[in-house]
Chains A and B, each alone.
Chain A
Amino acid sequence: MVSRQPMIEVRNLYKRFGNLEVLKGVSLSVGRGEVVVVIGPSGSGKSTLLRCLNYLETPDSGQIFLDGVEVDPKRNLRQVRQEMGMVFQSFNLFPHMKVLDNITLAPQKVRGTDKESAEKLALELLAKVGLADKAHSYPGELSGGQRQRVAIARALAMQPQVMLFDEPTSALDPEMIGEVLEVMKKLALEGSTMIVVTHEMGFAREVGDRVVFMDDGHIIEEGPPREVFSNPKQARTREFLSKIL
């Protein structure tokens, strides 16, 4: 399942906001088709790590490789972003556009796909996330869970090599969490490479190939979900898990 060349490799990443050091030398390798679930307390740097991967935040130092190619904001930033689909906690759908246009915009403007193929793909993706009938709705007319599924479809429409999820269900009412996790699970089973920041431990256990525990800007512990959850080696991991499980 995991090939030799990692899909994403992070080496020694540092990031500070003013005086606040948020990432203190993070290294991480994600294999092709692997689902890595990142957990950790609030403020530990999970979002920052994810946002550094596609340079929504610029790291202070360290290297990021996508499929063996180093990410260099001066040279390949936009190509890299096209290959990393991102799903945000707050959906960030474009409210002035219909669902279909939300999904087809980037493929057309960025990839240069023609309108017809872009719409065909968008409708397929909408069917996949269970929203085939919502193509002509505006985001404002959808529930939170539906919006997040559209956001996933929008990211998928660029046919990225990696999907990044930053707490995709944290802004949702409890009854809508399941439908979003279901879609994510489907993607995982199809072999997508995914990095998922989440507090949904059930998802981590069931879908994750590996769990990464972050605290205070460091990766403290990582391993298969079963091991990390049932037999955490580090005291800080134990403490965190005891609070949330």
Chain B
Amino acid sequence: MSFRWDLVWSSMPMLLQGARLTVQLTAIAVFFGVIIGTIAGIARLSKGPQKYIAAVYIDFIRGTPLLVQTFIVFYGLPGIIGQPIPAYTAAVLALSINSGAYVAEIVRAGIQAIDKGQTEAALSLGMTSAQTMRYIILPQAFRQILPPLGNEFIALLKDSSLVSVIALEELVRKGQIIIGRTFRPFEVWLAVALIYLVMTFSVSRIVDFLEKRVKNGV
């Protein structure tokens, strides 16, 4: 038995198609994840009842597997709302909600890392809590948050492979399909792994770049 490079190459076009979906899903989930996570992270630090809602959400998501969350959305939710949810929508939903909880913790830590004197200075000038958050805390927290947020994106890029279980043809699913036809798992999974590596490496480069830009802005 020999290693067949030609199979690695010939599966590339189809795998790249899957990778496109992987990137798309991740990008959308990151987008909504940041929105959800910012809201949940701020809510978690607030004093009202929303604090507890946010805590339950964050703990539930972080304490359960993404796979199970995906099943709940794809197989469970339709029974409750009375209509099927397309796999794509279910995947975006599950990934966004999942990412939101992790981003919330990142946002919370980022906000808490900002010196209390910043808030006091803003309040002493007559600013509202919302203005203080918007103009003083979040812009500074963003700098703190960027590296862990980058790591979260990378994690999500890899974790998105789990939605292959609901038959969404992202990168892993495409790999499975090709193996079904070629019976060459080693070459195909290696090709899949290489594509993931290129994607995660690119993201971390981009994050590094942004981090430097932000640092130089000070």
**Is A bound to B?**
yes
Minimum distance in angstroms from B191 CB to a CB of chain A: 44
Give Cα A106–Cα B140 distance, bound, in whole angstroms. Answer: 17
Which of A54, A84, A85, A92 is within 8 Å of B115, CB to CB? Answer: A92
Contact of B56 with A by CB under 8 A: no
Q: Contact at B135–A54, with CB atoms within 8 Å?
A: no
Of A2-10, A74-82, A173-181, A206-214, the segment with at least 4 beta carbons within 8 Å of chain B is A74-82
Report B-chain residues with C-beta under 8 Å of the C-beta of A109. Answer: 127, 131, 135
Alpha-carbon separation in the docked complex, A182 to B62 (Å): 55
CA distance A82 to B139 in the complex (A): 23
Q: Which residues of A contact B124 (CB under 8 A)?
A: 54, 56, 81, 84-86, 155
Asked if A94 meets B121 with Cβ closer than 8 Å, knowing A109-B135, A138-B218, the reply is: yes
Chain B contact residues: over half helix, strand or loop, or mixed? helix
**Among residues 119 to 144 in chain B, which have CB atoms less than 8 Å away from a CB atom of chain A?**
120-128, 131, 135-136, 139-140, 143
Shortest CB distance A98–B (Å): 10
Does B118 touch A at the CB level, under 8 Å?
yes
Q: Given the complex, which residues of B lie within 8 Å of A105, measured CB to CB?
A: 125, 135
Interface residue? A88 (CB, 8 A)? yes
Q: Is the CB of B125 within 8 A of A158?
A: yes
Give the size category of B's interface with A: 20 to 34
Say whether A88 contacts B126, CB under 8 Å: no
Judged by a CB distance under 8 angstroms, whether B65 is at the interface is: no
A154 B125 Cβ-Cβ under 8 A:
yes
Once the chains bind, are B120 and A140 in contact (CB under 8 Å)? no
> Chain A's nearest CB lies how many Å from the CB of B8?
47
Q: Which of B89-119 contact A (CB under 8 A)?
A: 115, 117-118
Q: Is A96 an interface residue (CB 8 A)?
A: yes
> Contact mask A206-225 → B, CB, 8 Å, 1/0?
00000000000000000000
Please tell me if the beta carbons of B125 and A88 are within 8 angstroms of each other in the complex. no
Do B126 and A78 touch across chains, with their CB atoms under 8 A apart?
yes
Q: Are B218 and A155 in contact (CB under 8 A)?
A: no
Closest to A80 in B: B126
A90 with B125: CB separation less than 8 A: no
| Cβ < 8 Å to A, chain B residues 48-107 | none
- Are A79 and B218 in contact (CB-based, < 8 A)? no
Cβ-defined contact, B126 with A106, below 8 A? yes
Interface residues in A81-116 by Cβ distance below 8 A to B read 81-82, 84-86, 88, 90, 92-96, 105-106, 109-111
Q: How far is the CA of A85 from the CA of B115 in the complex (A)?
A: 20
